[in-house]
Structure 1
Amino acid sequence: MKKVHTLELAKIGRWGQDGAEITRQDLREVAETFAGKRPAVIGHAETDKAPKFGDVLDVRLSDDGGKIYGDVMFLPEAEALYERGAYSGWSVSIPKRGADGKRYLHHVAFLGATPPKIPGLKDLGINYSEGESPEVYQFSGQMPEEGAKMTDEEKKAHEEALKAEKDKAAALQKQLGALKAEFEAYKAENKAPPKKPEFSDPEAAKKFADMEKKLAEVETASRKARLGAFSEAVKGKIPAGLLPKAEAVAGLLEGAGEAEFADADGKPIDWAKAATNM
């Protein structure tokens, strides 16, 4: 299990000996422009060859807009140093982009002997994740104003990939339906209880177990194919940094079982289309 620390990264005010000011607008821009992992490093004097301390996985504003929070996952060696208090403070680098003058998170520097510019920032707690990225669903990245630009060849390749994923999902759904029907018919024929079937014939028991295993395998493959079709449908239409989060949310909805949602007029909602038009 991997630990994910939720930290207060910065807050409004004037800080340090130079009295540098961080405004609400600065924090809004940092949350708005965040669109993917940013490095956590040791000290601000980083170089191209310096290793990272971990990753900032997500950035979001507090409810009152006076702080920004970040979800940070440390490398194992760095986690041990942080827990021992060797690097217990941190400071953000939020320069302005040349393209539009908006502030963005360049990195978070963890500090040891040097105190941070903003005192009193807190570690708000730990979540746990089994994968490389935690299940954090704060959509803080900025949506592109005109959508992603693709060449005709890229559009054609994208459409072909989407069709292939949809065809694969449809074929697996059909196979799954047939297996379920065969499975239920076999239970009925052998008069097996629906919850815990028991067969006196060892061969019948083995066939039942094999069918149950195959059914589970096809259900898993079908679910992956449906999620693959979703990923292809939204690829290129939402920022790359948000794609893993959109896939994670889709996975949660998929895992909840079949459900149908409708708008105020009773028209079914196309979630992939809705996601690309947020």
Structure 2
Amino acid sequence: MPSNAPATNTLPAALPTDIEVFRAGTRTADDGSVHTITEADLAASAAAYDPAVHEAPHTVGHPQHNAPAYGWIERFAVRDGVLQIAASKQVEPQFAEMVATGRVKKRSMSFYHPNDGSNPKPGIWYPRHVAWLGAQPPSVKGLKDVNFSDAGAICFSEPVTPTTTPTDPSPQEPDDMSKELQEQLAKTQAELQASKDEAAKAQAEAAAAKKAAEQATATAASFAETARANRKAGYVSFAEAQIQAGKLLPKDKEMAVATLEALADTKPVEFAEGDATRKVSPAQWLQDLIAAAKPTVSFGEFAGGGSGGNAAAQSGQAKGKSDAEIDQAAQAYARHHKVNYAEALTAVTASFSS
């Protein structure tokens, strides 16, 4: 029976809200300087924070040059004298998982000093970044701010709980957890980038294949169109040759060509012819039938007069007339005298030859 229990390996979509990062009071910074930051100061910091001016990143440990960033802080808030992260955005899922599983717990808050010349909002403690630390918090004494090159960075690495004593002299082990987490996150990011590169490559290959297929289809269509045009030209040439041979009437030329085109794509037909079986396309069969027929009339042009003229009349040939002229005259004669085309053709041919 399937279980309805939620999956336990789903990565959190984002960091939780209301993450405490700094408590008002007199604090000793990582460089040994002592500063008193009141609740009003923190309220001013939260109100003045503007990501468009300076967006404070989430970092793991204290990487050089403030890289890489694993998310960005969207808003700060103050509650009961504690500065909190009200909302974050663009957080790496692997980083959010590490926070959710407790692999990084301590936070190190860094501010711009109110009198620092590089402070984007002079006169207030402006948030610079929040560094997440591993199993052990860093030692207060001698810890340098290596996240930013500006000299005005003020970092407070002690936990935010009220019971914390900033100058706790108890020895602390080196924090190697931050380095391990950075390496893991870097590896994950490299794998994600490799996946993105592979997907982009596959997309490019698919686009190239689609383009090649479209070109092949266009080429095939062009070849097919050319083949149809050449085939029709062949049928037209065939019909004109049969008209010249007297086996096809001029008026039937267009119908003969259209019929041959209609039959061109019909499947070949097999039939017995003597002791053999013949396979032929209907279009070819019709062409063979027309070509094998006896001439119905003989058109031609030659001079009349004397016995030659009488011979021309008897053979159905017309003096000085083209095929088209004879055809037009025959059609007009047939309409006027209400006779069939063959009778009209005989009559006009005789009249032209006399």
- Give the TM-score of the pair, scaled to structure 2: 0.30
When Rg is computed on C-alpha atoms for both structures, the one with the higher figure is 2
Which structure has more RCO (C-alpha within 8 Å, separation ≥ 6)? 1
